[in-house]
Every structure is written in C-alpha cells, then in structure tokens.
Amino acid sequence: KHGGGAKSLSVRRLDPQFYSVDLQVDSGEAMGANLVNTMLEAVANELRSFGLQVTMAILSNYADKSLVHVLGKIPFSELTTSGITGQQVASQIVDASHIAQVDVYRATTHNKGIMNGIDAAVMATGNDWRAVESAAHAYAAKDGQYKGLSTWRVNQAYLIGEMTIPMPIGFVGGATSVLPMAAINKKITRIKRVREMMEVIGAIGLAQNLAALRALVTDGIQKGHMNLQLKSLAMANGTNESELATVVKQLRHMTSPDSTDVKKILKELRK
C-alpha cells in the first residue's frame, strides 16, 4: 500500500490577509512528498478556477500527524560507574532532562544529541534526514518555547525516558527503493513496514540521548569526544586496526599530540 489518499480538508486563517487550505493525506508506506505536492497543486488549480489567488501549493514538513512515541526503562544497576551509584546517575540525568525543558540553550544541544542517532538511521534507510530534522525541531517548539524532545524520570529502581517525535519517513518509494545500501540496511534490520521503522529510529534517538546524558553527568562529554579525535588522528596517519588501541593509549598521555607523534609511535611499534 503506497498511499491511502486524502483524509481531510480544512482551512486556517493565518492573518487578515492570508488563509491556508490544509489537505491531510495518508501516504501509506511511502514518505509521499511527490504524491502530496501533486494533490496540492490540483487543489490549487481548483481554487484558481473560482477566481481565488493562490500564492503557492507545497507540503509542510511539520509532520505533526506522523508521530512516534518511544519509551526506555533502565535499572539503576546498568547506570553505575566506578565512582557513582546508578541511583545518583539516574537522579542527575533527571536534572539534566529538566534543564532541557526550561532552557533553550541546553534544549538545543539536548535535541542535537538525539538527532545524532536519528539522522544516521534515517540516512541509512534512504530517507530525507533534512525533513526529519526540520519536523523534529519545529515540534520541539510546539508549545511556544523550544524544549528538549525527550524527558527522563525515576520510578522505583528504574530510570525511565520517553519521547514523542515526528518521523516523516517512508519504507517504499524514492531513494529507499533505489539505493543499494538502503536495501541492504532494510534486510539487516528485518523491518517490514514504515511504522516499525519509525519506532526503531525513534528508539535509536532515545538511546543516543541516554548515552550523551550519562556521559555528561559522569565523566563529561569531552572524554568520549577526545577519544574519537585521537582515533581519527591515529587512523589518518596510517595506523591499522591492530595497532589502534596501543597508539591511542600512548597519545592519551601526551599534552598536544599531532601527526609527528603518531608516526613516532608507529615506528617503535613496527620495529
């Protein structure tokens, strides 16, 4: 099923001069951009036949009818670090989550972390990550203030995270059907329909958010970022997979490691 057709037609008054005619369309398993735009242009032509001025006919990426809700439940025991109990980590994650609800500066970065996971999965399936990004950030501001898309709370001995987010993606049509890598990724995930794909991608975003928040309230985000930077430096200068862990370990003890340091370490390793 590629499309379920038109579902409703409504009119919104934008200001004293402009109105919006909104057509709700069920695009089925497809993302449906071309389908919707074709239908909208037909509606526009019909309105013009009555002498009405139509400025434009175009879909909206604010996909507030294509929502997915995901929930994660993590026992405190899975959050414990060497120096902090799982309950303490959970409590600090809840605090960080609250800050993202009341401070736009933090909310922006909070949501960027969520989209780090979502964008990668959306691209891997051949979908339009820019459409998903625009929908997500618009939805984050739906109450008049930009807020974190996810919220975290404690219930008994568990940390619970929830998120509702627009997911305007397709399982068939467009690049999802013609890109070889997208087809391979579909087989790997064993996903059979678009609703399931929406749920999986949403869950990836929530998991990414948890990983970032846990790092923030424990070791700090820089520890992980610096480790990635050192790996990139090592690999860019000829380090192979079997040497990588040793090279990164030595670079970590240097104040300002550079390519010369990597080459020196490799020279010693390969003697």
Write the DSSP string, 188-247: HHT--SHHHHHHHHHHHHHHHHHHHHHHHHTT-HHHHHHHHHHHHHHHHTT--HHHHHHH
Question: What is residue 226's predicted lDDT score, i.e. its pLDDT?
Answer: 76
Q: Tens digit of pLDDT for each residue in 124-135?
A: 999 999 999 999
220, pLDDT greater than 80? no
Residue 240 burial (CB < 10 Å; 0-12/13-18/19+)? exposed
Q: Specify whether the CB–CB gap between 121 and 198 falls below 8 A.
A: no
Domain segments of the chain as ranges:
5-48, 67-219, 223-269
Alpha-carbon distance 154 to 72, whole Å? 11
Backbone angles phi, psi at 83, to 5 degrees: -120, -5
- What's the pLDDT score for residue 268? 87
Which of 198, 159, 170 minimizes the C-alpha distance to 72? 159
The whole-angstrom separation of Cα 121 and Cα 29 is 17
Tens digits of per-residue pLDDT, 56-84?
999 999 999 999 999 999 999 999 988 89
Distance CA 5, CA 149 (A): 30
Give me the chain's average pLDDT, please. Answer: 93
Tell me, which fold does domain 223-269 have in CATH?
Helicase, Ruva Protein; domain 3 (1.10.8)
pLDDT at 3: 59
| Residue 4 reports pLDDT greater than 90 | no
d(CA 108, CA 120): 18
* 267 phi, psi to nearest 5 deg: -60, -40
Q: Is 82 helix (H, G, I), strand (E, B) or coil?
A: coil
> Top-level CATH class of 67-219?
alpha beta
- pTM, to two decimals: 0.81
